[in-house]
Structures are given as C-alpha cells and as structure tokens.
Amino acid sequence: MSVKIDRPAEVGEYDEPLQALLQLVWGDGFLSPGGPEEIARILEGTDLRGRRVLDIGCGLGAVDVQLVEPHGAAHVTGIDLEPDLVEKARARARRAGFAERIDTRQVTPGPLPFADARFDVVFSKDSIVQIPDKRAIFCEAHRVLRAGGELLVSDWLRGGEGAYSPEMLEYFRLEGITYNMASADETRAALAEAGFIDISVHDRSDWYRELARQELAAMSGPWLPTLIETLGRERADHFVTNWRQLVLVLDRGELRPTHLRARKPGA
Ligand SMILES: C[S@@+](CC[C@H](N)C(=O)[O-])C[C@H]1O[C@@H](n2cnc3c(N)ncnc32)[C@H](O)[C@@H]1O
C-alpha cells in the first residue's frame, strides 16, 4: 500500500532541511542509518573486489564511496530519482578521487536503463521501501545481474499487513516522503517470483530500535542547539517529533529494517 506525500513537482522529497537533518543524525553523505559499519554488515560474506555494482537509490553517494573504498568494487553505478541528490553524489565521488570508478545517474521510475547481465552485484540501502512495485524492481535487478550475481539489500519492511495503523500514517506524515512498504513474506515472494534463489531475510529491528532511541535522546538533548541553528526552531522541533514517532513505530514492530540477500541462478 502506497502513501504519497503531495508537494510541488519541482521540489524533491529530500529537500535541504531534510538532507541536513539526516546527515546530522546519520553522518556526512548518508540518508540512512548505520554508516560504514552497517554497509559492511550488508556486504558480509561477499567480496566486492573487481566487481561491477549497481546501487539503487544512491542518495548523496556516501554509500557508493564506501563500496569502492574500503570494499574495493571495481566500478559502482549509483542511480537515483532526484537530480539534486545525483549531482551531490557525483561531486562527492569526484572529491573522493573516484570519478572514474563511480558513475552517478538520474533515472525515472520504471525499467532500469541498463543492458542485461551488466552487473555482478545489485546493492541498495533503504531505498526499495519507496518503490511501489517490488516484483518489478526485483525483476529488473535480476535482468541486469549476470548469472550467479548477487542482490544485497537493506530495506525498511513493515510488520503486519492490510491498512496502516494511525501511528504509521502519522509517522509518514511527519517524515514527508513516499513510503511503499512490504512485509518480509511479500518481499520474499517478490524475490522468488523475480527468479532469485538462496533468498535470506535478516531482521535488523533490534539494532535500529536501540539506535533510534539514542538518536532521539541526542536530538532532544545535546544535538538540539545545532539542530535549531541549522534548521530553525520550528523545523528542529518538527524533526524531534518525527523521531519520537519513528521510535514508536519501531517499538510497535510496524517498521522493520531488514537485510535481504539473494542470488541469480547460474555460474
Ligand atoms: C532513504 S534514501 C537512502 C539513500 C542512500 N541509499 C543512503 O543510504 O544514504 C532513499 C533514496 O532512494 C531514492 N529513490 C526512491 N525511489 C527510487 C527509484 N525508483 N529509483 C531510484 N532511487 C529511488 C530516493 O530519492 C532516495 O535518495
């Protein structure tokens, strides 16, 4: 079920204040939690050295820099819907000295603009949650992977099914970005329908529930003066309320950060 937030078409979902807030909480260039450590966890057991990687929903691009250094990907293609994010991700890759190894592209929703079997690994960090048709995006991921290639994803899944609770709807309203959440069962089924095998689903809720609580304590305590200075009082207060709601839906088990792994059959 999709929840879309109405805003003028020319304004991206990740406006400057939201980018600033998320980077204050999650680190420079990150629009999702956990930083380098969480990326290393998603990659555990997979050697990226010499591999061509597609990153779906690259955001500000800190993830792509990590995939190259320290993880050693030969080449990363980062794609995102928002031109502002893509431009900033491209600048970040250039500043890191990886202009030749990271290609950042704006895409539109729908089929991926790449030939079949072009990548060894498809990676994504907390972005599939925004994409409405899970089967379609996993079919596209499968198509652009070479035989035997791997899908390594962190995603924000939902607990339960049917109508969202009032608490979740309030969280979406406060957050102000589009959510299209699927459950673990729906995600597993979509991966299998797309042709993936060796599917594993690993719930990371315990980790993020605890971290989000610490983030909320910091936002409403020691970080508050910086939030107010950066964003103004009104927006700073809004984001503290937003995080309180995030902690609530994590506690209720309705929002479940999860790692997914799967493989395309073949060599
Ligand atoms: C929560 S952010 C995560 C960004 C980045 N992966 C990170 O961890 O910092 C989700 C990103 O997915 C992007 N996104 C949403 N729908 C997308 C789609 N259909 N194709 C590509 N990117 C998409 C958003 O614009 C946003 O940058």
* pLDDT confidence bin for 13, thresholds 50/70/90: very high
Q: In this predicted structure, what is the pLDDT of residue 161? A: 85
Task: Sheet with 102-106: list strands edge to edge.
Answer: 102-106, 75-80, 52-56, 119-125, 145-158, 255-263, 197-203
- Report helix, strand or coil for 137: helix
Looking at the predicted structure, is the pLDDT value of residue 27 above 50? yes
Which ligand 1 atom sits nearest the alpha carbon of residue 82?
Answer: 25
Ligand 1 mean position, distance from CA 55 (Å): 9
Which ligand 1 atom sits nearest the alpha carbon of residue 124?
Answer: 6
Assign residue 197 a region (left: φ > 0; alpha: ψ between -120 and 50; beta: otherwise): beta
What is the spatial distance between Cα 142 and Cα 112, in angstroms, rounded to a whole number?
11
Indicate the pTM of the whole model. Answer: 0.96
Report the nearest-CA residue for atom 19 of ligand 1: 109
- Cβ(85) to ligand 1 under 6 A? yes
- β-sheet bridge partners, residue 78: 55, 104
Give me 147's structure tokens: 């035989």
- Cβ(131) to ligand 1 under 6 A? yes
- Cβ(130) to ligand 1 under 6 A? yes
- Cβ(86) to ligand 1 under 6 A? no
Looking at the predicted structure, is the pLDDT value of residue 159 above 60? yes
Q: Report percent pLDDT > 70 for the chain.
A: 96
Q: What are phi and psi of 3, to 5 degrees?
A: -120, 115
- Report helix, strand or coil for 26: helix
Looking at the predicted structure, is the pLDDT value of residue 20 above 70? yes
Q: Report percent pLDDT > 90 for the chain.
A: 93
Looking at the predicted structure, is the pLDDT value of residue 168 above 60? yes
Average pLDDT estimate for 6-27: 82
- Cβ(88) to ligand 1 under 6 A? no
Report the nearest-CA residue for atom 15 of ligand 1: 130
Q: How does pLDDT run across 225-264, given as a tens digit for each residue?
A: 999 999 999 999 999 999 999 999 999 999 999 999 999 9
Please report, for the domain that includes residue 56, its CATH number: 3.40.50.150
- Cβ(107) to ligand 1 under 6 A? yes
Ligand 1 mean position, distance from CA 235 (Å): 22
Looking at the predicted structure, is the pLDDT value of residue 162 above 60? yes
Range of the domain at 119: 2-263
* pLDDT confidence bin for 267, thresholds 50/70/90: confident
When divided into structural domains, the chain yields a total of 1
Ligand 1 mean position, distance from CA 148 (Å): 25
| Most distant CA pair in the chain, distance | 56
Q: How does pLDDT run across 180-221, given as a tens digit for each residue?
A: 999 999 999 999 999 999 999 999 999 999 999 999 999 999
Q: In this predicted structure, what is the pLDDT of residue 12? A: 83
Q: How does pLDDT run across 75-104, given as a tens digit for each residue?
A: 999 999 999 999 999 999 999 999 999 999
> Positive or negative CA dihedral for 18, 215, 170, 62?
positive
What is the spatial distance between Cα 203 and Cα 38, in angstroms, rounded to a whole number?
13
Looking at the predicted structure, is the pLDDT value of residue 6 above 60? no
